[in-house]
Structures are given as structure tokens and as C-alpha cells.
Amino acid sequence: MGSIQFRTPICQFQFLRFVNLIINCLHLNFYFTSRQTNHYPMILSIRSLIFCFGLLTCYACQGQQQPTTEQDPATETLLGKEVTELPTQVWAIYQERSGHYWFGGNGEGVYFHDGSKLIEYTTADGLVDNQIRGIQEDKFGNIYFDTPTGVSRFDGKSFTTLYPVTSPLNQWKLERDDLWFSMNGNGNAVYRYDGTSLYLLTLPEYDLEKDLGIEYVKNPSFSPYGVYSIHQDKDGVMWFGTLMAGVYRYDGTDAMWIKEKELSVLDDGRVPAVRSIIQDKDGYYWLSNSQSRYRFYWVDMTGDEPGHWAYEKTEGMTAGPDHMEFPYFMSAVTDDNTGDLWMLTYSNGMWRYDGEQLFHYPITHEGKDVLLYTMYKDREGGIWLGSHNAGGFRFNGEEFEHFVLP
């Protein structure tokens, strides 16, 4: 029970005088009742005591302050600060169900745009890390930020850090409302959030030298199984692109590795990593490069061999008027209107594939080539780009224009 509080010292003085008056009355009352020989006056004394106590309580309540937990709106502390432009490096973009946008910076925190204002949030506001690698939303409208340090949840008022727990016996599971995170591909792990706990799950390892012909020396700074992309297809199947080990497919029951040299260390030593996984309008999967496409199918049980998933790899995109000198892309989406495949490259602009030909869209800003990093398709089908050196861009139907506040 909280203590009685007073608006002013005068109220406190008046209250003490009132208490003293009640005590004197009680003394007189008990003096007279103590000279009686029956119990009736004593009952009156008890009733008098209760009455005085009630009167005292009412008086005290009139002088009590408003609860100290209530804060004057004028002095209430708000998170974030209003800014006028996006950061130079935009590495993640997301549109929440309300229609508002989030932009993730690479060291600058996250930016919320409601159509008019732009608010920046950083670790000073409770964000776990200012390097943002992904943004998602759960069914309740909470926003989640994937970072190299951990995962932050924002409920519209404050940030909460989700701490991973190791799944017992590395038990993989897939539920409809799960959210998946990579934490920047740190270690041989992926993280599954079921709305209650953030589970750390490890990917099964295999013999990279035997299956892919690459020689790998363990390095504490990175893992060949580090997850660089996460994709959930229209059937709910999860796909995980890695640094050197290819792609891991998991449908909640069956799992398989797609082990291909083009998804690992290339012959010239370059390691592009599987940074994007996309399914086109014909059902084929493109695994971060344009030279091959994959079709997956189920093989029924034969004899003692159980049923399992398999795939076939076929030729990818034909060149057409333009061609990719380095046939790897970092991000991809399908066009809602045409079904065309849009692909983002780091230093060679944007590419569109209509099923027959490739078309090139160079991206420049203020006379300089833009180094692109991520692409996002919003809820209206609009295509956004995030860059490494020029902020954000949006497709206007003909070209990608630099995004500025209205």
C-alpha cells in the first residue's frame, strides 16, 4: 500500500491538526464509556472509532496526489529523432502492413517513414545493433530487425532484444507463423523464432572437398555454412543460401543440400555466396546466378529406398541485347504485372529477364555509378533498391529514381 502524499505543506499541517482533534475526541468518548457497566457504550465506542477512521481516510484521499506513474505528455520521452534524409548505405527495406516503410542502415540504425516524417532509431533507443541486415513483421504487427549482434523487436513503443537458445538436439521445426533470421551469417547457424523463443539451429555439415572439390581450412572468422540468404517460397518451404556450401532446402519434414560448384568457390577463387533465392513464374528456382535454373520434384519410394526430393539443373538466361559479365546477383524479385525477373548486381546495375532476353538498367546518381546492395518489392508491387553509396531508389515505371522525402 502506498504512502499518503500531499499537494502542499499547508495541506500536511491541516491534516495533522485534524488527526489531533480526532484523537482528543476518542479519549473523551472512551472516558465516558469506561464508566458504564454494560457493553452497549463500548459498542458505540468501537463504532465511533470506525467512523473516525473512515473520516480520516476520506480527508487523506482528498489531499493525495495523482499517481506518480502518470507522466505529463509534454514531458514524456519519445524514442528516435526526426531526420530529413536516408543514410548513404541502405541495406534493408520493408513495408509494414499499415503501409509505412522501414529502411535499415549499415551502422546508422533504422529509419521509419510514415509518408511525411522520417524517424531514425539507434542503439541509444534500445536497438541491439546499428547494422541492419533484415526487417520482418509478425502477425501482431511487431517489427523485427536482424543484425550481426542479435534480433530486436519493436512493438511501436520500445525495443526488446531476443536472446537465442539452443534447440534441444538441434530439433528443426517449421510452423506457419515462424520468423527466420541469419544474424549476418555468423557461424554454422540459422535462427527460428516461434513467437516465444528464438532457437539456434545448426545446418548439417558434409564433406565439401569430396562433394564440391574445394579445399577448406577452418577459419574462426567465418563458416562455409554461414547463411547469406533466407527465402520462403509460395508453398512455405524454407531455403537457406550459404557462403560456400550451396543451398539447404527444408520443408518441415524433409531436408536436402543443393551441392553445386557454381554455388560455392569458383574456379578463379572468387566466392560470390548464395545471396538470393527466387522462384520465377514458371516454377523454376534461380540460386543467385543467371547461368542455371533448377526444378525440384519428388521421387517416390522404390524398394528399400525411401521417397526423397531431387532436382534437375538446366541452362539459364540467354544473353539477348545485353549480358552479365559476372552472372551473379545479390537480390531478386518477380514483377507482379509481367512476371519478369528483376535482378540486382553490386556494381553493374539492374537486370530484367522476360523469359527470353536480358535487359540492362544502369543506376547512377549525381554522375556516379551506384553500388547496389538490396532490392525489395512492396505490397503494391513497387520495386525499391537500397545502395552502398547513394541511399534508396524507387522504380517509377520507366527508371529507378533517387528517393527523397516529399
Q: Which CATH code fits 80-402?
A: 2.130.10.10
> Which residues, 6 or more positions from 20, have their beta carbon under 8 angstroms from its beta carbon?
none
> What would the mean pLDDT of 77-90 be, rounded to a whole number?
93
> What would the mean pLDDT of 127-145 be, rounded to a whole number?
98
CA 391 to chain centre: 20
Type of residue numbered 90: V
pLDDT at 82: 97
Q: Which of 34-38, 114-118, 386-390 has the lowest mean pLDDT?
A: 34-38
Ramachandran quadrant class, 384 (left: phi over 0; alpha: psi -120 to 50; beta: rest): beta
Domain boundary assignment for the chain: 9-74, 80-402
> What would the mean pLDDT of 154-179 be, rounded to a whole number?
95
Integer CA distances (angstroms), 365 to 52, 86, 89, 90, 391, in order? 81, 15, 14, 15, 10
pLDDT band at 215 (very low <50, low <70, confident <90, very high): confident
Q: Is the pTM of this model over 0.75?
A: yes
Integer CA distances (angstroms), 87 to 90, 110, 211, 278, 386, in order? 6, 9, 42, 28, 10
pLDDT(4) > 60: no
Reported as a single tens digit per residue, the pLDDT across 273-301 is 999 999 999 999 999 999 999 999 999 98
pLDDT(50) > 50: no
pLDDT(139) > 50: yes
pLDDT at 303: 84
Query: What percent of the chain is modeled with pLDDT above 70?
Result: 80
Looking at every residue in the chain, the average pLDDT score rounds to 85
Nearest Cα to 311, choosing from 239, 208, 223, 224?
A: 239
Reported as a single tens digit per residue, the pLDDT across 317-351 is 965 667 788 999 999 999 999 999 999 999 999 99
> What would the mean pLDDT of 107-117 be, rounded to a whole number?
97
